[in-house]
Chains A and B, each alone.
Chain A
Amino acid sequence: MKNFAFLSNGILKRNAKASGIFLLIIFLVACNKPAKDLSKENLTDLNKTYPSQTGGTLIDAMTGEPSGLISMIAGESASSAISSNIFNKLLKYDKNLDLEGELAENWQISTDQKTITFKLKPNLKWADGKPLTSEDVLWTWRTVIDQKTGSPYASDYQLVKNAEAPDPLTFSVTYEQAFAPALDSWAGLQVLPKHLLEGQDLHTTAFARNPVGSNYYKLDSWSHGEVIKLSRNPTSVLGQAKIDHLVSRIIPDSSAQFLELMADNIDSMGLDPIKYARIIPARPELQRKLALYKELGNSYTYLGFNLKHKPFDDVRVRKAINYAIDKQEIIDGVYLGLGINIASPYKPGTRWSNPNLEPYPYDPAKAKTLLKESGFVTNSNGILERDGKPLSFEIVTNQNKEREKSAVLIQRRLKAVGIDVKIRAIEWASFISRFIKTGDFDVVLLGWGLGLDPDQYNIWHSSQQAPGQFNFIGYNNPTVDKLLEQGRLELNPEKRMKIYHDFARILLDDSPIVYLSAGYGLTAIHKRVKGIDNPAPPAGLGWNSETWYIPEPLRRNEVSEN
């Protein structure tokens, strides 16, 4: 059937209809200049200095959405990232990680070291105008320790034997025993408004999606799954922030985030080492508008042995593995040099980190000797064997690109001394319940994100080995137990420091874990945001974020919201 009437009306009509619609859509779209019309800033202006001023909008991106904004029950980082802008705590850390008052003007510790009395600043107000008093602090404490609230963070606050609010500006707590990490815990509890939450079930209250706080910002709108907008709180207890609006867009995919950063639709983004060290520096157009920041985080990655499984109960085997791994190679290869080889479980440069300890060097020969001493011989496959059992195990880790890469490097190095390693990367929830809680693992590759207080009782004390607790590797050392207990009671910083230095030394000797590296947090922030301290002080990049500002010539064109 050959039809030579090619251009009959029918075809044209049908085609025209379809193509017409399509063209119309393309036309509409192309003619629609993106609603956020970027001011075509003269790029050299980005480097000028501008005086501090108020106004502007800072847009960043989050991969996940907060489950709610009441931080004592919401666990994830997305939640605290937002709620920390809305609420205040009694204390906070200053630039050099020393404690200073936030809601509290000052505080006193009694001579028996068991009572702390906080004096609040006068005339504090909530964003709705009501006064913020010690009643709110007392109520918050009662709520966090309440069984019904079910806060995962209750344990530190439950150690308070008695709390009082004798007058609106005074709040005092008394502990059973001197509790050194106490002040740190008060720098972590976000104070909630009693007048809005009393009688409500924290788990179902609408407050979690519509909070009223006292800090620099208040919630403007929360469009689920899309964007959370905060705006400056005029009655903030700490004074005024400079930037008018904080917008957090929810963009789950990292490649989409990066594209948005390149298109100037977001102002800041957390980076992985490759973007930070290889990609952005290589593109002049990105270098021109983005400033790169790195700050040493309070976390480290490690290889953890299940001390209840053979042969990891043998310290020589653990040390051998420690010698056999080239940590610098991991830092250079996976983190592109953006990490530090550590020897104690603390952030390098802080007083808690023992400066006299040296990390295990890369020494495969020594590793082999130690293994030989432990009774291993090489079998026909080139793998070490003892009593007929080959030295072969599985490293389990979660789905984190850097950890997976580190595992691969470790696998290679261990193979070179005769150890056969398999790698398994698992999604987080399965990982925790299937392997960690059950204790059914040989070796894990994980990280610890630490608080600012040096107390690590929960991780290393022998009493913390029940399923679900954090000493899942099964470490049991009575000397360390004692040190950890003492550390919690000792309020004198010098003496405390000595305790934790000893602790780190014993830990290094025992090698229950292999420290892999302390990592840097890497961020790119658009140059329009001024006032950022670089290099970042010990407290981190965002310590003074309320003083950051966006000069008017550099702002995006924004149509006013109201």
Chain B
Amino acid sequence: MNKNLFLNVLSNPLSKAGFIIIVAVFLLAMFAPLIAPYDPDDINVKAILLAPSGQHWMGTDGLGRDVLSRMLHGGRISLLVGLVAVGISTAIGILLGAVAGYYRGWVDTFIMRLVDIMLSIPSFFLILAVIAFLTPSIVNVMIVIGLTSWMGVTRLVRAEFLSLHGREFVMASRTLGANDARLIFTHLLPNSLTPIIVSSVLGVAGAVLMESGLSFLGLGVQAPQASWGNILSDGKDYIQFAWWLSLFPGLAILITVLGYNLLGEGLRDALDPRSGKNK
């Protein structure tokens, strides 16, 4: 199935583009320390706010630091935040969804009410409040985004489990003596994998956007650590004059998020048997 899936996804030019973008950004971020021409923390007070040139391809910022190097390292941070946050939310979502869908009954009701509560509180408010209260830092940002985005995955996993519940292979495994955990992990989960993957990919896009928004408010990644969000926020006063501080990080965020969205939607189309592709 996986090989077919792969080819399916890649045949759609939009998701192909998304995949390429994601891989490219990932490679750039991973090899950042090797590719970056300067140390991203290297301050040079004589080179403040220089326009892009041969020496500084993306110009310099308010402390004379090379923007290209900061962008590369910042990419690592932004991606890291996105991936870890989604990892956390997916883990929580799988856990809660599995428990709700498997055991059902009042456990299910309780968990779904929890989901309802979390969905009723405007999420950005919750994130704002918790970050401000917990002191902004990379780790806290990851945790908070993770803690506020698990609801979708929970519902997906629960739905899958509920639908698989009555199937024969479940009953067969039970008779054979498999305990709960084994059932969940070796049989039920793998079948739910596909919507989880889609949700995760789209989740990374959302998390990267969220991090840049939080950095804009001063609640994201803190100085002197570079992230796309805070390079953008540092330069927002100088849109007209130091356009490179606004253009490059904004474009980077746009392209990366776009990549994840394209791939995510492409995956969803390819995996969804109801899609209109087969006409």
Contacts and interface: CB of A to CB of B under 8 A. Distances in A.
The answer to whether A and B touch directly, with their CB atoms under 8 angstroms apart, is yes
A255 B236 contact: yes
Interface in B208-240: 218-219, 222-224, 234, 236-240
A182 to B, nearest CB: 41
Contacts of B240: 262
B202 interface: no
Interface string A197-209: 0000000000000
By secondary structure, the A interface counts as helix
B277 interface: no
Contacts of B133: 430
B237 A425 contact: no
A405 B63 contact: yes
Contact of A283 (B136, B218, B241): B241
A434 B218 CA distance: 18
Given A332-B45, A409-B43, A282 B241 contact: yes
Interface in A225-255: 254-255
A399 to B, nearest CB: 5
B49 A255 contact: no
Interface string A395-437: 0000101001101110110000000000111110010001000
Interface string B45-73: 10011000000000000111000000000
B222 A424 contact: yes
Main secondary structure of the interface of B (DSSP, over half): loop
A333 B238 contact: no
Given A408-B223, A427-B218, A278 B49 contact: yes
Given A274-B49, A404-B223, A423-B224, A1 B279 contact: yes
A430 B237 CA distance: 26
B173 interface: no
A434 B137 CA distance: 15
Nearest to A279: B241
Contacts of B239: 255
A interface bracket (residues with beta carbon within 8 Å of B): 20 to 34
A399 B133 CA distance: 15
Interface residues of B, number: 25
A68 to B, nearest CB: 24
Contacts of B279: 1
A427 B49 contact: no
B83 to A, nearest CB: 24
A434 B133 CA distance: 11
Contacts of A329: 45
A216 B95 CA distance: 66
Contacts of B63: 333-334, 405, 408
A258 interface: yes
A282 B240 CA distance: 12
B135 interface: yes
A275 interface: yes
A405 B238 contact: no
Contact of B135 (A404, A411, A412, A434): A434
B132 interface: yes
Contact of B43 (A278, A401, A412): A412
B116 interface: no
A333 B223 contact: no
B41 interface: yes
Given A333-B63, A427-B218, A278 B48 contact: yes
Nearest to B234: A401
Contacts of B62: 274, 401, 405
A272 B236 CA distance: 13
A514 B258 CA distance: 48
A336 B47 CA distance: 12
A427 B48 contact: no
Nearest to A332: B45
Contact of A430 (B49, B135, B223, B241): B135
Nearest to B236: A255
Contacts of A336: 48
Interface string B123-136: 00000000011011
Contact of B223 (A262, A279, A423): A423
Contacts of B43: 333, 408-409, 412
A275 B237 CA distance: 9
A270 to B, nearest CB: 12
B136 A408 contact: no
Which among A1, A282, A407, A425 has the highest number of chain B CB atoms within 10 Å?
A425
Contacts of B223: 404-405, 408, 423, 425
B34 to A, nearest CB: 23
Contact of A258 (B41, B48, B219, B237): B237
A149 B135 CA distance: 33
A282 B242 CA distance: 12
B225 to A, nearest CB: 9
A427 B224 contact: no
Contacts of A254: 237
Contacts of A399: 218
Interface in A35-84: none
Contacts of B236: 255
Interface in A210-235: none
B201 to A, nearest CB: 29
A408 B218 contact: no
A407 B234 CA distance: 16
Contacts of A332: 45
B277 to A, nearest CB: 12
B237 A255 contact: yes
Nearest to A283: B241
B224 A404 contact: yes
B170 to A, nearest CB: 40
Nearest to A330: B45
Contacts of A409: 43, 45
Contacts of B136: 426-427
Contacts of A425: 222-223
A333 B48 CA distance: 8
6 contacts: A258-B237, A275-B237, A401-B62, A404-B223, A409-B43, A430-B133
State the 3 A-B residue pairs at the shortest beta-carbon distance, nearest first.
A333-B45, A404-B223, A255-B236
Given A274-B62, A427-B132, A430-B132, 15 more contacts: A274-B48, A279-B241, A283-B241, A329-B45, A333-B45, A334-B63, A401-B234, A405-B223, A408-B224, A411-B224, A412-B43, A425-B222, A426-B135, A427-B218, A430-B133
